[in-house]
Structure formats: structure tokens, C-alpha cells
Chains A and B, each alone.
Chain A
């Protein structure tokens, strides 16, 4: 096993981990404010990708519907519009599902189940409209960008590098936001909604903004992952479980933790396959999930608050 080989596996892990991270960012944002797991994130992720696809190709459908939009936007514009509409979808989800449940003081478990229900509806609606077949963004979507780039002995798919860059950019933007007046107000809401309300902060408005940001990130992530592979109605669901593991590993509700958790999870998976399969074929790839989640369990035994999460202090 050469150093070049290990570097390649490390790059594979980081690039896949970036996908996990960008997916988990939207997840953790809602959790950090409301302490609920929003399982519609996978569906919003898929909707975002389909929106960008339709705005770029000018075509909606493939399943029970065939519509021509009469316009084809360049990727950057379709991407922006798709992400913004996904943000609005996030807001709609807050109004349709989470806000009514909060008003009724429903158990957080009900919110979780309701979000799974809505996610299933959204995914099935996508299948009805676009069919079950995979759609691919046009080859020219990324212009003259080569499919892979060579960084010394390491090959990286260009789109994976873009995903890594966007993930770090999103993290930086969220960090800057957290330092602003609005960001501070948002985190005050997360800390204690009642006190934040007494301080004159409109709690419900900030919750709406949180869902918008979460949906926006979901839409961005969906398009980027769709550009990397292909899109199908169910492709967001595969990231649901791993996204959950990532935010637990990084620290529930911790935004930098979601990014670190995603990257660590990606690297663990890549090295599990890369090291074990190199010596005994099929062992690492066969037990990849068991080994990755086993490591997650070990980490949590020693750091129950996750890699970057704060230790909970029980005040008596």
C-alpha cells in the first residue's frame, strides 16, 4: 500500500464527506433552534435538484406530466432560483407541519413522524411528475470544467471539489451570520425562546428564517449532489440516515460539528474500504456500515456530546 494510494483514499473520503456535511448542515440548523429532527430535508434536497434541472433544461416531467417551460436558464441562475424556491418550500413546511404541531404543544416525536410523512408525500409527488427513472444534468452543465482534476498523485472529480468548496463557504457564511445582530438573535431563540421573546425578538419570524435557510441549504446540496451523480425521486432518502449519524457525531445542533462530522464520517468510510479491501477483497466494502457506525458508537461512548458539541450541564 503506497502513500499515493492512501492519499487517494483520503481524498475520496473528504469529497464524499463534503456531501454528507452539506446535507447535514440543513438538518442541524433546524435542530439547533427547535430541537427537532426534520426528516423532510431529504425530500427538499431532491426537490431542489429537480427544480434546478427543470429550470436548466426547460422541461418538467417524465412521469405522468410533460411540460415545456419555454425557457432554459444557465446553470448558475437555475441553481440560485432552485435554491431560493427550496428555501420557500422549507418555510411552507414550517407553516404546514411544524408550526401547527408546536401550537398544539405536540410531542417532538410527533413532529418527527409528521416530517417523515410529508417527506414521503413529496418524494412520491416527484415520482408522479418525473417518473422513477434517473435524470442527469446535461454534460455541458459545468462548462469546460474537466470531469476530474489531478492533484499530484490524487484524482478528484471536479464536482466533488466544488461541493467541498461550497460546504466550507456555507460554513463560513453561517459563521459570519452567527456574528451578526440577526445571527445573535437567532441563537438567543435557540437558547431560550421565552427569554428571547421578552427581549423583543420575534421568535416565530426567526423560526421561519431558520426553515428558509435549511431549505436553501437542502436545495443547494441536492443540486450539487445531482450534478455529481444523477437525480431520482428517492436519492435524498439515502442521505437521511447518514445525515443523522453525521449530526450526532459532530454534536447535535452544532453547525461546525455537522461539517466536521460529515468529513470524519466520509474519511472513516473510505479508509475502511481502502485499507481492509486492499488486503482481503470485499471485507471493508462488505462491513463498511458496521465498521463506520461501530466507530461512531465508540466516539459517542467517550464523547456523548459529539466531536464539537458542548457538554450538557444539569443545573439543580
Chain B
């Protein structure tokens, strides 16, 4: 109720300004990402993605000849930070649309404000169930976990026959982890696995020995982990140190090379469901891989690719709006453009991105849901020193 009131007030304050405002050059696209806090581990990968996307779009002619400019606002790790960042981007920077926020939890708090103000939002890593249903201006380029979690489970069961007992660890105070864990539980049920133990953790937790002792007393053969990156990596390290030798499936939170310095050699063997593969062959993914490697000497993380895709989708939608209106984006009425841009985003069809060919379709009474064709399952292989590793695609 309180959030709704804030959203309404913000919308009322923003509306007159937006009505009078026209789009400036370069075309401002907002990025509300977690640059600080313990979520910055994820947010910083996305910041790299949106910056590279700006370079890509501008080096390929911009939007109908006009360059774009990605304006970053730090959301921190909580909902309040995300709301502040959205307000700044909408009302101070007059952006045409926003890529963000980093966490689903933040999206549930901040996206309603953009919906009220009729500003299109593209979630780069908001994979919890119910994100597009927040409102008609909310879309995402991050596949819902229900789209790919069962794939990872099926792959692991096909590689390791005879698994019947599974345990689960998830961060109960993180909306995405909770939602992902629910999806995995449904998948366990579907394939007839016996869920012997569920352990709840908290974001920022580093000691898991009590939960591990309890889980291992129930002799699981497979453990699924839905937590944020560093927490999950510490959990994996302690699981292995406490003698667990069974299989581990990591959720989306563990889908980042940022876990390597934490669990080091113990990261080896974890199966991860992936919505992105650096080895996917297409021109835009090759460009991304080449430019990312030149700067960071590593393979592109999934979150970087997704944030890159978010900006790309906006740029593509802006080009289509310009084409259909037979005029340049710069100088258009901002409020009217935002409405048209949102419609264009939600009619994205077979658009080639680093995630492969994607489409975005409008869900009933909501925004835009992603339709992505290609999903992957990777297994982490660590090198002999245990310092670095790679995601080896097994499906």
C-alpha cells in the first residue's frame, strides 16, 4: 500500500515534466544497477554489459544515426536504492527507458514506479516468477528460471544414474533465490526425486556448517543451491570440506566466474543451468566476446550478456519506432516516445542477440516476457592450481 502511494506520487510529480520534455541527443537510456553493496558482485558484471552495449550500438550507426548514451544510477542492494535510482533516471536524466534493476526483489519494489510513470523497463537479471506481471511497462531479457531449471536437472540425472535423494539450500530472504528454489522443487517432484532436506540460508551468510551437518545426516546424492554467488560458493567449499562427494546443481546465482576465487578447487564439478553461452556463434556475440576478452581476459559472464542484450533491445525498438514514425527519435515528445518504445519492445521478434534469437511477447494484464530458444547446461572445470576455471558446456 505504501509503495503504491509512493508510486502514484512519483508518477504525478513526473508527469508534467515528462509531458513537456523532448528526447535529447545522445539518446539517454537508463541503467539502474547495483554498483555498491553485496549485490555489486552481480551489478558490476551488468555495468560492463551496458557500457559495452553502448559502444556496440554507437559503433554500428547508433539509432538511425543518433548515438545512445547509457546513464548509470547505483541501486545499491536494496529496494529503496532501486526506487531512488529509478526516480533519478526518470525525472532528472529523462531517459527513454531503464535497464534494471539487478535483483528480482528490487524489481518488485521499483518497477511499479516506472509502470505508473509509463517508462519502459527491461529486467536484465530479474528471473523470479511474476516479473512481467508487475505491470504493462515491465519486460525482461532474463529467462524465468522455470524455462531452464528442469533442463539442468534432467542433464545431471542422465549423466549420473541412480540418484534418488536430493537436498536443497536456498536464501529465503532473496526473492529470486526463493522463486528458483520453488521451481526446482517442482522439477524434483516431476522426475520422482525424494527431497530429503531443505535448508534455508540468508544473503551474506558465510558459515553453513550447522545446515550442512543436518543435510548430510539425511544422505543426499544431489544438492541444489539457490543463493547469491559468494554465499553459494562458500557453501560449496564447506560442503566439500565436510566430505560431501555427491553432485551439486547451482542455480543462477552461481552462474558467474566470480565464484572461482571463493570456492577455488571445490567449485569443480558443479552443474549450472545457463541462459547464455559465450561460444554461441553469431556476429553480435562474437563482437561481445572479443571486446570483453580484450578488457577482462576472460569469457563473458551471463549477466554481462543479459545486460548488453537489454540495451540492444531498447536500441532496436527505438530504430523501429523511428522507422514507423518517419522521424528522428531526438526531439520527439518524451512521454509519447516512452509509450511507443514500450510497444516496440514488446513486439521484438526473432531479434539476434548474444542470447541467440529472442522474442518478447506481451503477457495478459502485464508486460513483456522473454521467449528464448537456446538454453545450456555447463559444468565448472577448475584448473590444477584451483585459481581459475571455466564453464564447460555439456548440453
Contacts and interface: CB of A to CB of B under 8 A. Distances in A.
Contacts of A59: none
A282 B347 CA distance: 42
A12 B40 CA distance: 30
B204 A238 contact: yes
A281 B197 CA distance: 5
Interface in B234-293: 234, 237-238, 241-243, 258, 261-262, 264-265
A19 interface: yes
A274 B36 contact: no
B38 A234 contact: yes
Contacts of B206: 225, 228-230, 235, 238
A230 B262 contact: yes
Contacts of B204: 234-235, 237-238
Interface string A121-142: 0001001000111111001000
Contacts of B213: 5, 8-9, 12, 274
Contacts, number: 112
A19 B210 contact: no
Contacts of B258: 133-134
Given A19-B207, A229-B234, A230-B230, A277 B41 contact: no
A269 B210 contact: yes
A282 B242 contact: no
A286 B237 CA distance: 22
A159 to B, nearest CB: 10
Interface residues of A, number: 42
Which has the most chain B C-beta neighbours within 10 Å: A139, A282, A289? A282
Contact of A12 (B209, B217, B241): B209
Nearest to A287: B200
Interface string B206-220: 110111011001000
Given A278-B217, A282-B199, A133 B210 contact: no
Nearest to A272: B210
Contact of A232 (B41, B205, B265): B41
Contacts of A19: 207
Interface residues of B, number: 40
A229 B207 contact: yes
A273 interface: yes
Interface string B187-231: 000000000111111101111011101100100000000000010
Interface in A4-19: 5, 8-9, 12-13, 15-16, 19
Interface string A36-59: 000000000000000000000000
A80 B14 CA distance: 56
Contact of B200 (A131, A238, A282): A282
B36 A134 contact: no
A91 B202 CA distance: 34
Contacts of B199: 273, 277, 281-282, 285
A12 to B, nearest CB: 4
Q: Is the interface of A mostly helix, strand, loop or mixed?
A: helix
Nearest to B43: A132
A265 interface: no
B386 interface: yes
Nearest to A62: B261
Contacts of A67: none
A155 interface: yes
Which has the most chain A C-beta neighbours within 10 Å: B41, B204, B209, B234? B209
A273 B214 contact: yes
A273 B211 CA distance: 6
Contacts of B211: 273, 277, 285
A147 B239 CA distance: 12
B72 interface: no
B21 interface: no
B44 interface: yes
A232 B38 contact: yes
A232 B38 CA distance: 8
Contact of B209 (A15, A234, A237, A277): A15
B151 interface: no
A7 B264 CA distance: 29
B172 A286 contact: yes
B80 interface: no
Interface string A227-246: 01110101101100000000
B95 interface: no
Contacts of A303: none
B350 interface: no
B299 to A, nearest CB: 16
Nearest to B40: A132
B214 to A, nearest CB: 4
B265 to A, nearest CB: 7
B217 A157 contact: no
25 contacts: A12-B209, A16-B207, A16-B209, A132-B35, A132-B40, A132-B43, A134-B41, A134-B262, A136-B264, A139-B386, A157-B238, A229-B207, A232-B38, A234-B37, A235-B206, A237-B204, A270-B209, A270-B210, A273-B214, A277-B211, A278-B214, A281-B197, A282-B198, A285-B199, A285-B200
Interface of A: 5, 8-9, 12-13, 15-16, 19, 124, 127, 131-136, 139, 147-148, 155, 157, 225, 228-230, 232, 234-235, 237-238, 269-270, 273-274, 277-278, 281-282, 284-286, 289
Given A132-B43, A136-B264, 4 more contacts: A127-B40, A134-B258, A136-B261, A284-B214
